[in-house]
Chains A and B, each alone.
Chain A
Amino acid sequence: DAKTTQPPSMDCAEGRAANLPCNHSTISGNEYVYWYRQIHSQGPQYIIHGLKNNETNEMASLIITEDRKSSTLILPHATLRDTAVYYCIVRVTTLINDYKLSFGAGTTVTVRA
């Protein structure tokens, strides 16, 4: 799986949009970008994933650059409950025996009132 680079931490004001960057310059054509988060004392939670088109769901939006070397997770209106470690992971989904998620250090996001 391609390596990802994320800032170690960032702060965000409650009610504002939180933009979380991720670099994955060595991503290959069949690798998807996944985002998970881990709130304190809970298991990792799936947020969103995409291949090359921008994606949106009830939790967040994922913007992938045209060259696919970087992406941004957007939490449109951050709340205190969004304080968590956010992980950006790239992986292939179509190889039946390629199932591992490699969690790096992630970005610790602190939402402040």
Chain B
Amino acid sequence: DARVTQTPRHKVTEMGQEVTMRCQPILGHNTVFWYRQTMMQGLELLAYFRNRAPLDDSGMPKDRFSAEMPDATLATLKIQPSEPRDSAVYFCASGLVSRGHHQPQHFGDGTRLSIL
């Protein structure tokens, strides 16, 4: 089965360091989502791309987070500088908008980020 691949699976770093998380969406999918999951807030949408163009990043703290899609096979989420409150599991999901319908989103297994 095709899968969304996220790297790294785990990341521990010190406050102030740059963190880069990567996502390889399912081949042929034209939408990519970044979510963050914490115990307190649950799953929150951070950013959304369609055909590699960012359409919604209203869920991201703009001063420190950035999301890009350098090409159709790679999405990145960067945090600079990182803070302890950024500790969470970050999920990437991909999907297909086809004939005016959003097909179901498929998620990767996430990057578990700990900022000390």
Contacts and interface: CB of A to CB of B under 8 A. Distances in A.
Nearest to B108: A43
A68 interface: no
A43 B109 contact: yes
Interface stretch (A18-26, A75-83, A98-106): A98-106
Given A43-B110, A44-B43, A44-B91, A101 B105 contact: yes
A98 B110 CA distance: 24
A77 B42 CA distance: 29
B97 interface: yes
Given A42-B109, A43-B93, A97-B55, A34 B104 contact: yes
A103 B100 contact: no
Interface of B: 4, 31, 33, 42-43, 45, 48, 50, 55-56, 91, 93, 97, 100-110
Contact of B104 (A43, A49, A97, A100): A49
| 10 A-B pairs with the lowest CB-CB distances in the bound complex, closest first | A43-B107, A103-B43, A46-B104, A93-B102, A44-B107, A93-B101, A43-B109, A43-B91, A42-B109, A43-B108
A37 to B, nearest CB: 11
Q: Tell me whether chain B's interface is mostly helix, strand or loop, or mixed.
A: strand
Contact of A99 (B43, B48, B106): B48
Contacts of A96: 97, 100
11 contacts: A43-B91, A46-B104, A93-B101, A96-B97, A97-B55, A99-B50, A100-B48, A101-B43, A103-B43, A104-B42, A105-B42
B26 to A, nearest CB: 12
A62 B100 CA distance: 24
Contacts of B100: 94, 96
A100 B56 CA distance: 10
A107 B37 CA distance: 17
